[in-house]
Amino acid sequence: MLEHYKWLLAFHIIALMSWMAMLFYLPRLFVYHVEHAEKKEFVEVVKIQEYKIYKYIGLPAFWATLASGLGMIFFDSQLLSSGGWIYAKFTVLIALTLYSFSLEKYRLELANDTCTKSGKFFRAYNEVPTALAILIVGYVITKSFSWAFTLITLGIFAMIIDVILDGKKKP
């Protein structure tokens, strides 16, 4: 059983890496899309890329990550009693899932030319999965939950997003 679990864990990590690739890259495509809206031929190519990365890479990788994660819990139900870190991970996973589905909302708006968000917005929005990934990896590796780690991570990324959205230093 342990051998099967290790293979499932390996699959889970590979699926997660594929999902995260979409989460990191799709908002970058959104930046290019909105910042070059006047270049119709370019935008049409970007729309195809946005569709393919979400539908052919991101969505299947999300479901593979979820299924393999549930499989890991099935094979090792002790995970659920391993401390608060697992529930912190689940909480952040819910946020990452909502973020992932929000990308599809924005993708559809961009595909229909109804999106009103700016390139600055998508640059800042692109930082969200990095902060969430740092939290998940921190919880999983240390097998512990720390409010300090969580708040410092979120605080640093809130400052980065503020700088991106503001675009200038405050006096």
Binding-site positions for heme: 12, 89
Could you tell me which residues come within 8 angstroms of residue 145 by beta carbon, excluding any fewer than 6 positions away? 83, 84, 85, 87, 88, 139
Amino acid sitting at position 148: A
Block residue for tokens 């031929």 = 41
Q: How far is CA 106 from CA 11, 18, 35, 142, in A?
A: 29, 20, 15, 35
Q: Which residues carry a binding-site annotation?
A: 12, 89
> How far apart, in whole angstroms, are the C-alpha atoms of residue 7 and residue 14?
11
Cβ-contact 15, 91 below 8 angstroms: no
Angle at 117 between CA 102 and CA 24, to 5 degrees: 50
